[in-house]
Structures are given as structure tokens and as C-alpha cells.
Homo-oligomer: A and B are copies of this chain.
Amino acid sequence: MTDSTESTEPAVGAPERRPGGRTARVRAQVLDAVRAELAEAGHEGLTVEGVAARAGVHRTTVYRRWRDVGGLLVDVIAAAGEMDWQPPDTGSLRGDLTALNREIQESLVVRPSFAVALMAASFHSEQAARAQTRLWADRYAQCEILVERAVARGELPVRGARGARGATELDARSLLIAATAPVYHQVVLLRADPDPRLPERAAAAAVLAAAAGAFSVPRTEGA
């Protein structure tokens, strides 16, 4: 999700950037301000004026480049996608998923939580919702490597050769969702106190289910 394309007419939420230049500096200041405002006051408290004041830039600068609160939200989500994030690599699927879940839980329980504020915003802004959906899709796609590595290490059952009758492959995305969904569910929807054992337990349950063939699908499916 990089947006450092050259354009003479920058699109809303994707201003032209020259790394290290004034444009990049202003964007960094403004997006830092959006994150701080979101985390403090949530989506409902977000205004172009508040962001401009906190960023120390003129509000016409913000209006010109991001147009409105929706444009700011889209760009802050795009910036999250530009982060140089790498999925964990601990040597086992259970370890990787546990590390991933710990990272997720941490981002959800920290107060104020930018991640929760973004989710709340996505209920109210179609623009933010679409940007966030892309970010989730990217992150889960990045994490498929965890499942591929586990298959390569022989940790998970994959039966038969490509195209063989009865051959199966793992539905990596379903496995990843099964492993991570309980953490979001407990913290975001059930608002339970964060359980320090949950990241590992949810990871372990998904690995046991995978080992029992829960996420194996016929290789021909969808082909």
C-alpha cells in the first residue's frame, strides 16, 4: 500500500511525496495528529480544524490535500499499510500465531487504542471502511507465509500431489482467521478484560484444528 507515485494532480489522501521533503514532513505531522486525535477522542471527535491545530499546519493545507475527515482516515489507514510490518517467524506455527495474537491484543488493549478507534470509524465512514478492508486483506495475505512455512516443515497435513485425486490443500486464510478472531472478539466485541493466556490458547486451538484437517480443502475447489 504505497502511494509514493508521481502525479501532477495528487489524489485525495495520497499527496505527492518527496521523501524528506516538505510534503512528506507535512504528511507525517498531519497523520501523527490524526492518530493522536483518533486515539484521544475517537472518530466522532475528529475534525480538520483539530488535526490542523495539533499538527501545527494551516487548515487550508489540510483541506487542500485531504479534503475532509474521510480523506484523513483513508490516508492514515494507507499509512498503516505502508509500515514495514513483517509477520513473526518463531520456528513453529503455534509460536508464530501466538506472537501474532500477542501483537494484536497489545494493539487493542493499549489505551487509547488507535486500532479500536479505526474500527469504530469504519462503522461510520464508508471510505474508512473500504480502506480498512484493504488493510486487513493485505495483512492476512502477508501472514499466509506462516502457514506455508508450517506446511514446508511438515507441521500440517497436506495430502497428495497437485491434481491428484483426493489431494487437499490448506485454506491458510481460514486458519489465520480462526487463530486471530477470538482475540478481537474478546477484546473489541465482548469487552472482556484482556486474558494474557488467550493469545497462546487461541493459537493452539487453531493449530490443533488444522492438524485434525479442519482447514483442508480439496485441491480442485475453486480451480
| A interface residue numbers (CB < 8 A to B) | 42, 44, 116, 119-120, 123-124, 129, 133, 136-137, 174, 177-178, 180-182, 184-186, 188-191, 201-202, 204-206, 208-209, 211-215
Contact = CB atoms under 8 A, between A and B. Distances in A.
Nearest to A120: B123
A contacts with B: majority SS: helix
A41 to B, nearest CB: 11
Given A44-B124, A120-B123, A205 B189 contact: no
B186 A177 contact: yes
Contacts of A208: 208-209, 212-214
B184 A177 contact: no
Contact of A185 (B185, B190, B205): B185
B178 A189 contact: no
Contacts of A136: 189-190
Contacts of A206: 205, 209
A202 to B, nearest CB: 7
Contacts of A124: 42, 44, 120
Given A181-B185, A184-B185, 7 more contacts: A116-B123, A119-B189, A120-B123, A177-B182, A181-B184, A209-B214, A212-B212
23 contacts: A42-B123, A116-B123, A119-B123, A120-B124, A129-B191, A133-B190, A174-B182, A177-B185, A178-B182, A178-B205, A181-B181, A181-B182, A181-B185, A184-B189, A188-B189, A205-B209, A205-B215, A208-B212, A208-B214, A209-B209, A209-B214, A211-B212, A212-B212
